[in-house]
Structure 1
Amino acid sequence: MTEKEFITAIQNHTGIIHKILYLYVDDPEDKRDLKQEIQLQAWRAKDRFRGDSQFSTWLYRVALNTVFTFNRKRKISSTSLDSAAEPIHHPAEKTERSELLLRAIKNLNDVDKTIVTLHLEDYDNGEIADITGLSKNNVGVKLHRIKEALRKKLNEKAQWTN
């Protein structure tokens, strides 16, 4: 991949970086820093992109690894669903239910958050397995459990607000 092709690919897939930052990082300054760090890490690793998978799959992996490393170093703990005071800003049209879903997803552990996010992005279980390093069957089982947990959390929250 040439330098120009790489830059174009990053620009075409910048939404991936924004989604990951939205889900895993709360501080706006950290988001700016991490966006640059993800691009830098991708640039450093560009020669290792062999084309065995889609560029988006490879970029997800680079971005997630960069964010996880940052969070480990900073020992950032996720906020609970009930104590999330800051409103969520997402480019898509929002409804109260989608707000609750996004907050619930943000409250998941890193692996579960990654799995459900990739699923919502229409990645199949095999691609999710490639990105996360889990087996395809394990992804399927985890995805089912995550969906059930989210459904339960949303139903509890809906009953609580009614």
Structure 2
Amino acid sequence: MTEKSYLQKIEEHKGIILKVVNLYADCLEDRKDLYQEIVLQSWGAYARFEGNAKFSTWLYRISLNVALTFLSKSKKAAKIKENTNQDISFEPQELSERSDFLYRAIKQLAEIDRSIIILHLDGFDNLEISEITGLSKSNTSVKLHRIKQQLTTIINGK
């Protein structure tokens, strides 16, 4: 597992990182910091990636854990001096009006609930979501059902 293969996989899956970054950080500087922290933490863990899970599942787990830690710290980690990639846009991509509305509704959820619903929307099944989040499969199913109800309430304005 070389640096080149790691960078190639990060490039292929940077959408995962950007999705997490945009859900958990509001200002541009925080997005940049969080992106860099996720890349740094995943690089540190890459040597231990055994391929038992899909790379995307592994990266989601790291990204979400780093994002949740990032939020809980009052003092942010120092910026990574090394420039990872200049052409990354930290601004959310243009979304349709409906997608933007859903995105704003998801941002109103608790941090762990955001993780669960975004994984679900990306096509991960409940077992994969439970592996990424560390929740049991049954707890994941219950939480997902409640999250959907919560989103319905938010979207319908009730």
TM-score computed with the length of structure 1 as normaliser: 0.83
Unaligned runs of 5+ in 1: 76-88, 158-162
- The CA distance in 2 between the partners of 1:137 and 1:58, in whole Å, is 21
Alignment pair present for 1:60 and 2:57: no
**Which consecutive aligned stretches of 4+ in structure 1 deviate over 4 angstroms post-superposition?**
none
Unaligned runs of 5+ in 2: 76-90
Aligned pairs for 1:123-142 (under 5 A) are 123-142=124-143
Matched letter for residue 155 of structure 1: N
> What residue is the counterpart of 1:12 in the other structure?
12
Using the TM superposition, give the Cα deviation of residue 94 of structure 1 relative to its aligned residue in structure 2, in angstroms. 1.5
- The CA distance in 1 between the partners of 2:37 and 2:58, in whole Å, is 16
- The CA distance in 2 between the partners of 1:98 and 1:74, in whole Å, is 31
> What residue is the counterpart of 1:93 in the other structure?
95
Matched letter for residue 136 of structure 2: S
- The CA distance in 1 between the partners of 2:64 and 2:136, in whole Å, is 18
Matched letter for residue 73 of structure 1: K
> What residue is the counterpart of 1:41 in the other structure?
41
- The CA distance in 1 between the partners of 2:59 and 2:140, in whole Å, is 19
Query: SS of 1:48's equivalent?
Result: coil
Query: SS of 2:115's equivalent?
Result: helix
> What residue is the counterpart of 1:144 in the other structure?
145
- The CA distance in 1 between the partners of 2:141 and 2:29, in whole Å, is 35
TM-score computed with the length of structure 2 as normaliser: 0.85
Between structures 1 and 2, the one with greater helix share: 1
Query: SS of 1:74's equivalent?
Result: coil
> What residue is the counterpart of 2:79 in the other structure?
none
Query: SS of 1:11's equivalent?
Result: helix
Using the TM superposition, give the Cα deviation of residue 92 of structure 1 relative to its aligned residue in structure 2, in angstroms. 4.8
Q: Which has the higher contact order (CA 8 A, sep 6+)?
A: 2
> What residue is the counterpart of 1:118 in the other structure?
119
Matched letter for residue 138 of structure 2: N
Using the TM superposition, give the Cα deviation of residue 33 of structure 1 relative to its aligned residue in structure 2, in angstroms. 1.4
Note the alpha carbon deviations across 1:51-108, whole angstroms, 9 max, x for none: 1101111111111111111110128xxxxxxxxxxxxx6425311x433321111011
